[in-house]
A = this chain, B = another copy of it.
Amino acid sequence: MTSAAAADPTVGELSEAEVLAAVLAQLGPSAAELGPGDDAAVIAMPDGRVVATTDTLVHGPDFRLAWSSALELGWKSAAVNLADVAAMGARPVALLVALAMPDRTRLSFAVDLARGLRDACDTLAPGCRVEGGDLTASDTLTIAVTALGSLDGRAPVTRAGARPGDVVAIAGDLGRAARGLDVLFERFRDAAGTPVAVDPSLLCDDERAALRAQLRPAPPILLGVAAAAAGAKAMMDVSDGLLLDARRLAAASGVTLALRADTLGDDPDLALRGGEDHALLAVFPAGAALPEGFRVVGDVIAGGADRVLVDGTAPSGRGGWDPYRDWDAARG
């Protein structure tokens, strides 16, 4: 064993308690009535309801270790779950993290991942903390996060409240995370197609921003509560591409969303079909003052044969992101 390896053992060389202690040291003080260390955490939910969601990142379908650092993986696994809480109009208050790691994983990897989780919470949803979790051995690195949120007395903002005459708005990026994935697949694989480490010096500013949106997304978490307070009637997290997710919201509400291509940026097709942005799609009453950060992208009309129209025409295709289909089977 080299001295570097001795200073950074694998988790398989340590006891669960030793790995846990190193991870907990990154998480900062608990903000809960009872934080990590007992059979379960106890977390305040002032209005007597809890908003709860879970989402998992799996090595292979969801990320490649040649492209994502442990810090980025921790950050992203928090961010995508915080976005689902925000999309209900709720304030994220706690994460629970089930981390399954191969025995060969370095302790420093687990520590950096924990720091990424905390950094994302501190930056995107101040006050939210990792309040519980689970460590397991697995052949496949898997990060299963559960996020809990508080509605603080407001009604949840579901997908079903949109009505004809409402306006459709977006907060956050569209298409940028997909552009980042394209950069990775096109520029950072070797001749055999295997992912290789990213060299940022090869990228222009725009490409670096796209990569960051893919690897370390910063969805507008605080705008979820702001939208609810401003009267949002329906809302959802755009994780699978605007076209597919807008169809879901429209179907749940029994309406059609009429979008305008000139509001969708330089590349409307990428904005419609690119996944993983975690923007907020929200529907407001006509005339509502939109919170800063939202932009109008269309109107709600009576439900027709097509759930989404762009400039009056139904876009072709399924129009979304599918983890089973849109990653190849390579590992890295």
Interface residue ranges, A against B (CB under 8 Å): 12, 15-16, 33-34, 37-56, 58, 60-62, 84-85, 87-88, 90, 94, 96-98, 100, 103, 131-134, 136-140, 142, 144, 146-149, 151, 156, 158-159, 235-237, 252, 322-324
A324 touches B85 (CB 8 A): no
Q: State A94–B48 Cα separation when bound (angstroms).
A: 14
The 9 A-B pairs at the shortest CB distance, nearest first, are namely A40-B53, A144-B144, A140-B140, A39-B87, A146-B146, A98-B144, A39-B84, A58-B138, A50-B50
List B contacts of A103 (CB < 8 A).
324
List B contacts of A44 (CB < 8 A).
48-49
A144 touches B39 (CB 8 A): no
A137 touches B61 (CB 8 A): yes
Q: State A55–B96 Cα separation when bound (angstroms).
A: 10
A56 touches B15 (CB 8 A): no
A52 touches B100 (CB 8 A): no
> Could you list some 7 contacts between A and B, CB below 8 A?
A39-B88, A39-B237, A41-B52, A45-B48, A53-B96, A54-B132, A137-B323
Q: State A308–B62 Cα separation when bound (angstroms).
A: 45
B50 touches A43 (CB 8 A): yes
Q: State A146–B144 Cα separation when bound (angstroms).
A: 10
List B contacts of A12 (CB < 8 A).
324
Copies in the assembly, this chain: 2
Tell me which of B33, B37, B90 contacts A49 (CB under 8 A). Answer: B33
Contacts A12-B324, A43-B50, A61-B137 given; indicate if A144 touches B84 (C-beta within 8 A): no
Measured CB to CB, the nearest residue on chain B to A15 is: B322
Q: State A138–B134 Cα separation when bound (angstroms).
A: 19
B139 touches A140 (CB 8 A): yes
List B contacts of A90 (CB < 8 A).
40
List B contacts of A52 (CB < 8 A).
40-43, 94, 96, 131-132, 146, 148
List B contacts of A49 (CB < 8 A).
33, 42-45
A136 touches B61 (CB 8 A): yes
Contacts A88-B42, A98-B98 given; indicate if A322 touches B146 (C-beta within 8 A): no
Measured CB to CB, the nearest residue on chain B to A159 is: B38
Tell me how far the C-beta of A279 lies from the nearest C-beta in chain B, rounded to whole angstroms.
13
A56 touches B136 (CB 8 A): yes
Measured CB to CB, the nearest residue on chain B to A97 is: B54
Other than the given A37-B252, A39-B159, 17 more pairs (CB < 8 A) read: A15-B322, A16-B322, A16-B323, A33-B156, A39-B53, A39-B87, A39-B88, A39-B235, A40-B84, A40-B85, A41-B51, A42-B50, A50-B148, A52-B132, A54-B134, A62-B136, A142-B144
